[in-house]
Amino acid sequence: MSGDHIVALSGGVGGAKLVLGLSHAVAPEQLTVVTNTADDFDHFGLRVCPDTDTVLYTLGGLSNTELGWGRANETWTFMKTVAALGGAEWFNLGDGDLALHVLRTEALKSGQSQTEVTAAMARSMGIAAAILPMSDQFIQTRVNTPHGQLAFQEYFVRDRCEPQVTGFEFDGIDSAVINPLLLATLEGPVRAIIIAPSNPYVSVDPILAVPGMRAAIKASGVPVIAVSPIVAGTAIKGPAAKMMDELGVPSTVVGVAEHYRGFIDGLIIDQQDATAAADIESSGMPVWVTQTVMKSLDDRIDLANTALAFADQIAGRSQSL
Per the DSSP assignment, residues forming a β-bridge with 195 are 9, 226
C-alpha 244/C-alpha 250 separation (Å) is: 6
Q: What share of the chain is helix, strand, coil (3-state, %, to 5)?
A: 45, 20, 35
Q: How many residues does the chain have?
A: 321
CB of 54 to ligand FO1, least distance (A): 6
Q: Which is nearer to ligand FO1, 94 or 223 (CB)?
A: 94
Q: Are strands 31-35 and 130-133 parallel, antiparallel or unpaired?
A: parallel
Question: How many CA atoms does the CB half-sphere of 210 hold within 13 Å?
Answer: 27
Is 197 among the residues that bind ligand FO1 (CB under 6 A)? no
* Only segment of 112-120, 126-134, 149-157, 260-268 that touches ligand FO1 (CB under 6 A): 149-157
Q: Which residues within the stretch 28-87 sit at the binding site for ligand FO1 (CB under 6 A)?
A: 39, 48, 50-51, 53-54, 69-70
Q: Which is nearer to ligand FO1, 153 or 179 (CB)?
A: 153
Instruction: Report the residue from 2, 92, 105, 113 that binds ligand FO1 according to the rule CB under 6 A.
Output: 92
The vertex-214 CA angle with 220 and 210, nearest 5°, equals: 130
CB of 44 to ligand FO1, least distance (A): 11
Q: Which residues within the stretch 94-123 sit at the binding site for ligand FO1 (CB under 6 A)?
A: 97
| Binding residues with ligand FO1: total (CB under 6 A) | 17
Is 157 among the residues that bind ligand FO1 (CB under 6 A)? yes
Four-residue CA torsion sign, 194, 196, 201, 202: negative
* Only segment of 150-158, 183-191, 228-236, 264-272 that touches ligand FO1 (CB under 6 A): 150-158
CB of 39 to ligand FO1, least distance (A): 4
Residue type at position 218? K
Q: Which is nearer to ligand FO1, 44 or 91 (CB)?
A: 91
Q: Do 252 and 275 touch, CB atoms closer than 8 A?
A: no
C-alpha 287/C-alpha 265 separation (Å) is: 9
Instruction: Report the residue from 76, 91, 138, 263 that binds ligand FO1 according to the rule CB under 6 A.
Output: 91
Is 161 among the residues that bind ligand FO1 (CB under 6 A)? no
| Radius of gyration of the chain measured on its C-alpha atoms | 19
CA proximity to 134, closest of 118, 123, 150: 118
Is 12 among the residues that bind ligand FO1 (CB under 6 A)? yes
**First-residue to last-residue Cα distance in the chain:** 22
Q: Which is nearer to ligand FO1, 154 or 302 (CB)?
A: 154
Is 156 among the residues that bind ligand FO1 (CB under 6 A)? yes
C-alpha 165/C-alpha 143 separation (Å) is: 7
Binding stretches for ligand FO1 (CB under 6 A):
11-12, 39, 48, 50-51, 53-54, 69-70, 91-93, 97, 153, 156-157
